[in-house]
Amino acid sequence: MSRLSWTKEHKLLRKPEFDLCYEQGKKLYTKNFILFVLCHGIGPGGVRLGLTVSRKKGPAVVRNRIKRVMREFFRLNQENFKVRADVIFVPKRNLDGRQITLGLAEKELLPLIDRINVLSCEREYQ
C-alpha cells in the first residue's frame, strides 16, 4: 500500500466504534489536543483515525480546516505507528482553528506517537 493512500479502513466511521474508544481507551494530552487511544495489539497497520470537532470551535470552515490538517498529519505519519489501535483526535478549546498548521500538529503529536507505541499497548499485552 502506498504511503500516500487514505482508504476507508483508516477511518472510524460508526458511533459504537467512537463510544468504545472513549470508554475504554487511554487519554493522552498535549497543549492543544486530547487523544483517545484504544489498542488492539502490537503489529503493523490497522491504525484507524477518528475526528471530533465541536461546533464551539467555530464555523464549518474552521472545523473543516482542523480536520483536514489532522487527516494530513495522520496520513503522512501512519507508518510510524507500530500498533493496531483506534485513535480519536479532539481539539481543546484554546486551539485557534484559523491558525492551525501541519507544523503545529507535528510539533505536538509526533512525540505522542512514540508514547502510543511504547506505553499504550505493550502494558496491555505483556
Provide the residue ranges of all domains of the chain, joining segments of one domain with +.
8-125
Does residue 125 surpass a pLDDT of 50?
no
Q: Which of 107, 66, 58, 110 is nearest to 89 (CA)?
A: 66
Average pLDDT of 36-56? 82
Task: Return the CATH number of 8-125, one of 3.40.50.720, 3.40.50.2020, 3.30.230.10, 3.40.630.30.
Answer: 3.30.230.10
Q: Which of 4-8, 9-13, 101-105 has the highest mean pLDDT?
A: 101-105
At residue 122, the pLDDT reads 53
Residues 80-94: b if buried by 16+ CB within 10 A, e if exposed = ebbbbbbbbbbbeee
Q: For all residues of the chain together, what is the average pLDDT? A: 85
Paired with 28 in beta bridges are 35
Q: What's the one-letter identity of residue 51?
A: L
At residue 126, the pLDDT reads 45
Q: What is the pTM of this model?
A: 0.84
Percent of the chain with pLDDT over 70: 85
* Helix (H/G/I), strand (E/B), else coil: 38: strand
What confidence category does residue 40 fall into, taking pLDDT thresholds of 50, 70 and 90?
confident
User: What does the alpha-carbon distance between residue 43 and residue 70 come to, in Å, rounded to a whole number?
Assistant: 23
Q: Measured between alpha carbons, how far is residue 22 from residues 25, 35, 76, 84 in Å?
A: 6, 10, 25, 16
Average pLDDT of 63-73? 92
